[in-house]
Structure 1
Amino acid sequence: MDLYNYNKRAWDASVERKDYFTLPATPAEIEDARNGYIPLTITGNRIIPKSWLADIAGKQVLCLAAGGGLQAPIMAAAGAIVTVFDSSPLQLAQDAEIARKHDLQIKIVEGDMKDLSCFNDKYFDYIIHPVANVFIDNVRPLWLEAYRVLKKGGVMIAGIANPILYIFDQEQLDKGRFIVRNKLPYSDLRDLPPKRLQYYKKKNIPLEFGHTLEQQLGGVCDVGFVIANLFEDDFDGEDLMDDYLKSLIVFRALKL
């Protein structure tokens, strides 16, 4: 199937449903960023440490697969020169609307996170990449492209999902039961029961992929990055896994 265009349409549908990860920054968050406190989250919960963004003002920042009016407006309000790149027109429309409301300058580009050919080599100082690569089937092109467009000395702050999220039977998990069913790497296209996959398609639910830590963290190092910092996060009590572990990972990688 055409995964890119399916998930593009599904994310547009998510915006129309006002799903959690489509909610834009609040006026208070924009004002905080303007006043020196940057309430940036790429997991929906924990704030990125201030030291990771100490020199963001005036820097070229790519908010990669980060449409929705959250990360890009906050970065722009903090003084960065921001480009937001995403596949979903409706997610990007939210960035445009927040920029208009708050008089922010944000360049908006629609495209596939695995193909950043519209950008020159060594153009950006920072990449901000939320937990979005669960919606592509191969993360290596993403890491290669991110490395290419980042300047030497540049920083990528990225969020990923711990692949343990994907080993359980989803139908049993909906009932509160942890039944191990799936092997990693995981694919909704391959591993969902046919009826559930058809339900997802009917309801325009984005399809997900559980990449291994070797593909994620190892892949980042493989293309040339050095991981300098890392922390874990959860879904703030909204997911059953939160009682047992923090299933999201945020890392800061450097292009030396």
Structure 2
Amino acid sequence: MENYRDFNAKTIDSWNSEGWEWGQAISHEVFSAAQKGDWSIVLTPQTSVPMNWYFPFVDETGHFRKGTKVLGLASGGGQQMPIFVAAGADCTILDLSDSQLASEKFVAERENYEIKIIKADMTQPLPFENESFDIIVHPVSNCYIENVQPVWQEAFRILKKGGLLLSGLDNGFNYLFDEYEAPMTIQNVLPYNPLINENQMKKALAENDGVQFSHTFGEQIGGQLKAGFVMTDAFEDFYDDNSRKNHGFPEFWATRALKI
């Protein structure tokens, strides 16, 4: 196999050609509402990020304070960053998928705004100076990389003091099961890592899932703490209403971490 990260980027491009929900750009109406301070984003599939998570960078009108610099880290798709731009932030998007970045360019051209668009691999040193950003938005995406600690270390490096890392995280529960219809039985052993498990790799390739990885609490939460962040808030989330009904166990975490 080629570099698995490049393979995953191409897999996401194939999903987008079929209408993947996380690659569909926001509408003009959503953009216009955000310009008026009426907006929300998700880091995980269902639950919107609380507005108080953006304090002190968003004022009481729902707009970012002048000069607030935001990085969308592996968050292409024309969803979060266009809303942040509309609400007044100076935004940069970094992703490895061509189609995800194309969605960002599409919205920027449609709404006539500027955004820095960078194609890069989040597992490598990020192409930014120390203390470049006030906020990093990192929705569920590190399930496509094997080792998440370098991401947390680089995020800490490029955030300004007082800056925020807002992350959506897969907690690993997804990878225990192939089917989510009740009754459910465990079908996979964790860690889910196709690079070291031949059966998992065969299944991933056969089902066009890309090469995905489960990560532990220690890697996801402990890794942010190890990098130097202070965790200030968090919530759990479900994939959809069916997963809530069929097993009642949240598959995702969202975290708010502060660089002090």
2:240 to 231, 236, 250: 236
Matches of 1:106 and 1:117, distance apart in 2: 17
Tell me how far apart the structure 1 counterparts of residues 245 and 12 of structure 2 sit (CA, whole Å). Answer: 24
Distance in 2, matches of 1:7 and 1:145, equals 21
Q: Residue 50 and residue 238 in structure 1: after superposition, are their counterparts in 2 closer, same or farther (change >3 A)? A: same
> How large is the Cα RMSD of the aligned pairs?
1.9
Equivalent pair of 2:193/2:200 in contact (CA under 8 Å): no
Asked if 1:66 is matched to 2:67, the reply is no
Indicate how the Cα distance of structure 1 residues 30 and 238 shifts in structure 2: closer, same or farther if over 3 A, else same: farther
Q: 1:197 aligns with which of 199, 204, 208?
A: 204
* 1:60-209 matched pairs, under 5 angstroms: 60-168=69-177, 170=178, 173=179, 176-191=182-197, 192-193=199-200, 195-200=202-207, 203=208, 205-209=209-213
Structure-2 separation of matches of 1:9 and 1:243: 32
Letter in structure 2 aligned against 1:103: N
Letter of the aligned partner of 2:73 in structure 1? Answer: L
- 1:232/1:249 contact within 8 Å kept: yes
Of 219, 223, 230, the residue aligned with 2:227 is 223
TM-score by length of 2: 0.89
Q: 1:28-47 residue pairs with structure 2 within 5 A?
A: 28-47=29-48
Change (3 A) 1:178 1:123: same
Q: Are 1:29 and 1:39, in contact at CA under 8 Å, matched by a contact in 2?
A: no
2:35/2:88 contact within 8 Å kept: yes
Residues 68 and 90 in structure 2, CA contact (< 8 A), matched pair in contact too = yes
What is the aligned residue count?
250
**Corresponding residue number in structure 2 for 1:27:** 28
Letter paired with 1:229: D
- Once residues 242 and 118 of structure 2 are traced to their aligned partners in structure 1, the CA distance between those partners, rounded to angstroms, is 32
User: Does structure 2 conserve the Cα–Cα contact (< 8 Å) formed by 1:236 and 1:242?
Assistant: no
Instruction: Return the alpha-carbon distance in structure 2 between the equivalents of residues 103 and 196 of structure 1.
Output: 43
Shift of 1:238: 4.9
Shift of 1:17: 1.1
Deviates further, 36-45 or 178-187: 178-187
Could you tell me which amino acid in structure 1 is paired with residue 152 of structure 2?
Answer: W
Query: What is the alpha-carbon distance in structure 2 between the residues aligned to residue 46 and residue 146 of structure 1?
Result: 23
CA drift of 1:19 comes to: 1.1
**Equivalent pair of 1:176/1:240 in contact (CA under 8 Å):** no
Q: Which runs of 5 or more structure 2 residues have no equivalent in the other structure?
A: 59-63
Residues 48-57 or 11-20, more deviating: 48-57
